[in-house]
Amino acid sequence: GEPTRDGLETKDYTVSNGEVCHPRTIAAPPSLMVLNDNSIVIDHRATPNVRQAFSGVIPLVENGQVVASLYDMSKPDNTEGHARNIEGENAAGHQMVLESEGVYPNQGLKHYQAAEIMQQYGAVTAAFMSGGGDVSCRFNGQSLIIPENINPATGAHFERPLPNVF
């Protein structure tokens, strides 16, 4: 793992077609896991029968409630608005996805705002998976949001190449 701003080591849990690519060795941020039976689990623990897994960053909604620490405005991560990629699950076990644009600098959703949107739409659990320049959203080959990345020479927005597509 790599050190974070807080000096903690982040561990990945990535699974592709049932093969563990990066095993989790300590409790860390949650991952979205798609099991062999197509059910969804969002947890910080490795789970049996995982077909696909994507590492998360910050829990936003737990047991249907917005995580209280997201309202702590002494943490810079809670005060900055950015593009957000949020994954969650509703009470019926259906996966929920929120992709929001946020043009740099500081124009987009704060973590608590993204959590409140997910909660409003019925999420019982949700996690911030990535943000800023990592966020893109394409459907049928068309971009649905303006990417946060800006080419300094042209001023044009561009998508950052991403390793995981779901």
The string of pLDDT tens digits covering residues 83-119 is 888 889 999 989 898 988 877 667 789 999 999 999 9
Distance CA 3, CA 118 (A): 29
Q: How many CB atoms sit inside 10 A of residue 41's CB?
A: 18
Nearest-angstrom CA–CA distance, 22 and 72:
31
Chain center to CA of 69: 17
Predicted local distance difference test score (pLDDT) of residue 26: 55
Confidence class of residue 70 from pLDDT cuts 50, 70 and 90?
very high
At residue 15, the pLDDT reads: 63
| pLDDT at residue 17, rounded to an integer | 62
Look at residues 55, 59, 45 and name the one whose alpha carbon lies nearest to residue 14.
55
Six-digit token string for 164: 């995981």
Element (H, E) at 19: strand 19-22
Is the predicted pLDDT of residue 24 greater than 60, yes or no? Answer: no
Tokens 């076990």, located at residue: 93
**Better-predicted residue by pLDDT, 64 or 136:** 64
Residue 120 — pLDDT band, cuts 50, 70, 90?
very high
Q: What is the pLDDT of residue 8?
A: 39
The rounded distance, in Å, linking the Cα atoms of 131 and 82 is: 6
pLDDT value, residue 9: 42
Task: Tell me: cis bond preceding 147? Omega within 30 of 0 counts.
Answer: no
What pTM did the predictor assign? 0.66
Residue type, 76: P
Report the C-alpha gap between 9 and 144 in whole angstroms: 34
